Amino acid sequence: MATSQPEFPTRLAEGEDQAAALIVRALAEPLPGPTEQQSWQRLRSRSLRPTPRWVLPAVAFGLSALALLVWVARPAANPPTSLGPDVWAQRVTPSPAPSAPPAPSSAVELPEKPPMPSEHPKAAASASPRESDAGQCSQLAKAGQYAAAATCYGRVAHGSSMDAELALYEKARLEARALGQSAQALSTLDEHARRFPGGVLTTEVELTRIELLSQLGRRAEALSAIERGLQGVLGRERGGDLQVLRAELASEQGDCAKALEAAQLARQAGAHPSRLEASERRCQHEAENP
């Protein structure tokens, strides 16, 4: 007899009790921690080469021996200062061979030549003042001062560095999602595409642009952009997302053949079925009521 899978309940957030309200509120709040841009900057500066296992014990042994030598050799009138490193000057760094290594089903072995993200040529222009400026912009956004944050990002977005590229995109995102200024956000993204063709955020910019066109009711333009996107890099990297948008727009226009085709392609690309419910329901309704 086949074992049936349990039927999972609906999520707490979909209810109307205290738990649901708390979860919904908590998920709407911004997360603490660095922005993606800050995290990436820091990651780029790290070495990804795994340290051989013998190095840390050898270093520890060497330091201990040196400390002992210093202790023994110093005159009595000049006792040594603290031998240990200042705790608060010491960053918490990960061990190269983690004590609890990730346990994917795949075999986990150190690669012979671990990949190291090489320096982006545009990133050479980024300097610490820019990073702290972007950090200030991020703090403004976290504090809910979205208009000020957008202005701040606009100031950082001068020049041709990667920081400028990222700042301009952040400005567009704030305008679109926090300030409700879709038209302004679209204009910012157009500027982004002009100033940074082939930049690191090209696919994100294109996708966000398509979403905004749709939100502004410019469905024909959005569909054209989707068809163009499907032919290029955007289609290869985010084909599923594009098909979801295509299904949504086509169903709104009453083109159910296209909508259902797009929904099918979206599912094949791995899109979550919940994202296709609205467009499929719309077409099902039209099929039942021609």
Partner 1 sequence: MLASAAASDVDAGHDLLDRCVAGSPDAWRGLHQRYHRTALSVLRRLGVPPSHLEDACQEVFVDVFRYLPRFRREADFRTWLYRICLSRARVSRRRARLWSLFSRLSPEVGPDLVQQPLDEGQASRQLARAIDQLSEAERVVFVLFELEGLSGQEIAEVIERPQATVFRRLHDARKRFTAALEEGT
Of residues 197-256, which lie at the interface with partner 1 (CB under 8 A)?
Answer: 200-201, 203-204, 207, 211, 214-215, 236-241, 244-245, 248-249
Quick one: 156 or 251, whose CB is closer to partner 1? Answer: 251
Distance, in Å, from the CA atom of 254 to the CA atom of 85, rounded to the nearest integer, reads 69
Going from the C-alpha of 77 to that of each of 65, 73, 197, 251, 262, the distances in angstroms are 22, 12, 68, 87, 83
Quick one: 48 or 83, whose CB is closer to partner 1? Answer: 48
Per the CB < 8 A criterion, the answer to whether 171 and 154 are in contact is yes
Quick one: 26 or 257, whose CB is closer to partner 1? Answer: 26
Distance, in Å, from the CA atom of 177 to the CA atom of 149, rounded to the nearest integer, reads 13
User: Under rule CB under 8 A, which residues in 123-152 are in contact with partner 1?
Assistant: 139, 142-143
Residues sharing a CB contact under 8 Å with residue 271, sequence separation 6 or more, in sequence order: 240, 241, 243, 244
Count of Cβ atoms closer than 10 Å to residue 213 Cβ: 23
Quick one: 150 or 249, whose CB is closer to partner 1? Answer: 249
Helix (H, G, I), strand (E, B) or coil at 180: coil
In whole angstroms, the minimum distance from the beta carbon of 290 to partner 1 comes to: 25
H/E run at residue 132: helix 128-142
Return the residue of 135, 146, 177, 195 that touches partner 1, per CB under 8 A.
177
Q: What is the identity of the amino acid at 258?
A: K
Per the CB < 8 A criterion, the answer to whether 252 and 219 are in contact is yes
User: Under rule CB under 8 A, which residues in 74-113 are in contact with partner 1?
Assistant: 87-88, 91-94, 98-111
User: Under rule CB under 8 A, which residues in 154-173 are in contact with partner 1?
Assistant: none
Piece of the chain touching partner 1 by CB under 8 A; list 14-22, 59-67, 124-132, 182-190: 14-22
Per the CB < 8 A criterion, the answer to whether 243 and 271 are in contact is yes
Quick one: 78 or 90, whose CB is closer to partner 1? Answer: 90
Judged by CB under 8 A, how many residues of this single chain contact partner 1? 84
Distance, in Å, from the CA atom of 150 to the CA atom of 187, rounded to the nearest integer, reads 14
Using alpha carbons, select from 206, 126, 111 the residue that is nearest to residue 165.
Answer: 126
User: Under rule CB under 8 A, which residues in 254-283 are in contact with partner 1?
Assistant: 269-272, 275, 278
Report residue 189 as tokens: 């993204």
Quick one: 75 or 98, whose CB is closer to partner 1? Answer: 98
Q: Is residue 192 within the footprint of partner 1 (CB under 8 A)? A: no
In whole angstroms, the minimum distance from the beta carbon of 32 to partner 1 comes to: 4
User: Under rule CB under 8 A, which residues in 27-66 are in contact with partner 1?
Assistant: 27-34, 36, 39-40, 42-43, 46, 48, 50
Quick one: 106 or 289, whose CB is closer to partner 1? Answer: 106
In whole angstroms, the minimum distance from the beta carbon of 274 to partner 1 comes to: 9
Distance, in Å, from the CA atom of 240 to the CA atom of 262, rounded to the nearest integer, reads 9
